[in-house]
Amino acid sequence: MHNGGGAFDKLDRLVPGSVVVVSTARGQLRYRVATVTTYRKAALAKRATQLFDQSVRARLVLVTCEDWNGKVYLSNVVVLALPIT
């Protein structure tokens, strides 16, 4: 059973323009949110190749589950963010 409390619980509250900071052993990386989209599972599967394409310019893709129906999650929130230079 899932009761929340995960690191991405509030991912759907981000809006375009929000800043996301990723801390690494080498320091911090800053990204500006470009889009926040909720996809049903089937729609995300169809877009996966495009969303996770490694040939596009640098970006951060954050994904979390949403719409728990008591048995499974029905959708995903996907945040695309671009590096702040």
Q: Is residue 2 part of a domain?
A: no
pLDDT at 78 over 80: yes
pLDDT at 1 over 60: no
Q: Is residue 1 part of a domain?
A: no
Domain that holds residue 55: 11-83
pLDDT at 3 over 70: no
pLDDT per position as a tens digit, 21-62: 999 999 999 999 999 999 999 999 999 998 899 888 889 999
Q: Is residue 4 part of a domain?
A: no
Distance between CA atoms of residues 42 and 33, nearest Å: 24
Tell me the DSSP string of the chain: ------TTTTGGG--TT-EEEEEETTEEEEEEEEEEEEEEHHHHHHHHHHHT-TTSSS-EEEEEEEEE-SSSEEEEEEEEEEE--
5-9, 15-19, 33-37: which has the minimum mean pLDDT? 5-9
Q: What pLDDT, on a 0 to 100 scale, did the predictor assign at position 64?
A: 92
Q: Is residue 78 part of a domain?
A: yes
Q: Is residue 53 part of a domain?
A: yes
Domain count, the chain: 1
